[in-house]
Amino acid sequence: MVVIEEHKHPQHNIKSQKFDNPDKLYLPVSQHTGKPASVCMEKGAEVEEGQLIARQNGYISACIHAPKGSKVTDITPWYHPNFGRMESLVLKCTKESKSYKTRSNVGGLYPEELLDIIQKKGIVGMGGAAFPTHVKLKPPKNIDTLIINGCECEPYLSADYRLMKENLKEICKGVELICRIVKPKKVIFALEDNKSDVAKKINLFSSIKKFNIPGLETTVLKSTYPQGGEKQLIFSTTRRKISGDKLPLDVGCIVQNVATCFAVYEAVYLDKPLIERMVSFCGDALEEPKNIWVRIGTTLQELFEKKILSFAGEPKKIISGGPMMGVTLDCLNYPVLKGTGGFLFLNRDAKNYEEQPCIKCGRCVDVCPMNLMPLMYAKMVKHEEFGRLNEFYIKDCIECGCCAYICPSRIPLVHYVKTGKKYAVADK
């Protein structure tokens, strides 16, 4: 665990904006963990806002919906931050945004029906990994603790914080719904100490029993990175340890991100699929860092063309995601995906580092939240001793980047781990 300068000021204190009239949308068929969705629209088809355009394909997969009333102009490979290029639906928006009415019989829905809605509305985990939520909420084991993750431990990003500031009641309603599905004994709302104002509000809700959430309590954790990592968060809140090869449900826990809870609320109450999300746009290359509600599929290019964002000088590095785990992009053609929490535009803060010899100081070992020995991976990958990587549990690595952050020799340890993981898999 490391303490990193937060860089969240000032955008975390600025009210979020909304941008809902894009011209074109690019929707890759894979925006989630698991199998890509299968396209169910012909080229040239007219679609309504919220209409299904790519169907869930297999158990671990998710549906994709049209974020706006539009025409499908093309189905072609397009820029994707994780895969380079990925088959995508290109939509030309033709209609105004739809308004959503509140469903009347929410209280009468059975857990199975709720789960069905979540599945059909294409909800995925919005903290980054984009794991299909309907799978996570149907655990094969008993769950006693539901943890709501509001940590947002990545520096710069503040989308979750803004969401909690502006839509806390809706998030809590979403948590209520999730509780009806998984029936936990206890619900822990986990926040970092830079968000204690939110914690106070939730404690108030809890004391007046505003929501029907069993055993709701807040835990305010120290702002360290990666506090919001699933395994670290479960340990910090419940003292239960999960090894690299186990899942949260093995210790009776489920972790849900606050944005996912909000998406569940919208899906059930408003019948609205996951077509929009709050995204942080930050970094020193932006004139005005801010949080914006954008439709899924909106490209960065369009946000700059429409003057929603503007550069303060030439950016040197553009990152999809946070500074610690994000992926660098090579142009502005990349779209916002379901799991995109933010984009980072760096100018002065983008630095190039040259790798120096390892001085075996052990700082990487000291900070590793999974108690691994990252320096060994770098050494083994360099010497191509791939067979020994598993001895040192390379697969337990969550690639949080603490080791490479702290390394005084500027060794790109995460890069070596990613390379090593590929070969370690091939070896077995």
The answer to whether 213 and 207 have CB atoms below 8 angstroms apart is: no
Task: Using CB under 8 A, pick the residue from 28, 67, 174, 401 that binds another protein.
Answer: 401
By CB under 8 A, the residues from 308 to 367 that bind another protein are 314-319, 323-332, 344, 346, 349-353, 356-362, 365-366
Q: State the nearest-atom distance from the C-beta of 282 to another protein, in Å.
A: 12
Please state, in angstroms and rounded to a whole number, the distance separating the CA atoms of residues 422 and 187.
37
> Per residue, what are the HEC states of 77-127?
EEEECCCEEEEEEEEEECCCCCCCCCCCCHHHCCHHHHHHHHHHCCCECCC
Contact flag: residue 83 with another protein (CB under 8 A): no
Contact flag: residue 155 with another protein (CB under 8 A): yes
By CB under 8 A, the residues from 171 to 190 that bind another protein are none
Q: How many CB atoms lie within 10 A of CB 268?
A: 24
Count the residues of the shown chain that bind another protein, applying the rule CB under 8 A.
65
Nearer to another protein, 81 or 132 (CB): 81
Of residues 268, 244, 242, 273, the one with CA closest to residue 255: 242
Please state, in angstroms and rounded to a whole number, the distance separating the CA atoms of residues 331 and 343.
12
Task: Compute CA distances 389 → 16, 231, 303, 364, 402, whole Å.
Answer: 45, 22, 43, 16, 19
Contact flag: residue 247 with another protein (CB under 8 A): no
Contact flag: residue 233 with another protein (CB under 8 A): no
Q: State the nearest-atom distance from the C-beta of 322 to another protein, in Å.
A: 9
Burial of 140 (0-12, 13-18, 19+ CB in 10 A): exposed
Instruction: Give the binding range for another protein (CB under 8 A) out of 80-88, 166-174, 214-222, 235-243.
Output: 235-243
Of residues 297, 292, 347, the one with CA closest to residue 319: 347
Of residues 33, 30, 74, 76, the one with CA closest to residue 54: 30
Contact flag: residue 407 with another protein (CB under 8 A): yes
Contact flag: residue 30 with another protein (CB under 8 A): no
Q: State the nearest-atom distance from the C-beta of 22 to another protein, in Å.
A: 21
Q: State the nearest-atom distance from the C-beta of 128 to another protein, in Å.
A: 12
Task: Using CB under 8 A, pick the residue from 9, 246, 306, 382 that binds another protein.
Answer: 246
Nearer to another protein, 132 or 369 (CB): 369
Of residues 86, 88, 128, the one with CA closest to residue 327: 128
Q: State the nearest-atom distance from the C-beta of 246 to another protein, in Å.
A: 7
Task: Compute CA distances 101 → 3, 97, 104, whole Å.
Answer: 44, 13, 9
Q: State the nearest-atom distance from the C-beta of 325 to another protein, in Å.
A: 5
Q: Are strands 38-39 and 52-55 parallel, antiparallel or unpaired?
A: antiparallel
Instruction: Give the binding range for another protein (CB under 8 A) out of 46-54, 94-102, 286-294, 391-399.
Output: 391-399
Nearer to another protein, 178 or 375 (CB): 375
Please state, in angstroms and rounded to a whole number, the distance separating the CA atoms of residues 257 and 171.
10
Residues that bind another protein in the complex, under the rule CB under 8 A: 2, 4, 155, 231, 235, 241-244, 246, 314-319, 323-332, 344, 346, 349-353, 356-362, 365-366, 368-373, 375, 392-393, 396, 399, 401, 404-410, 412, 414-415, 418
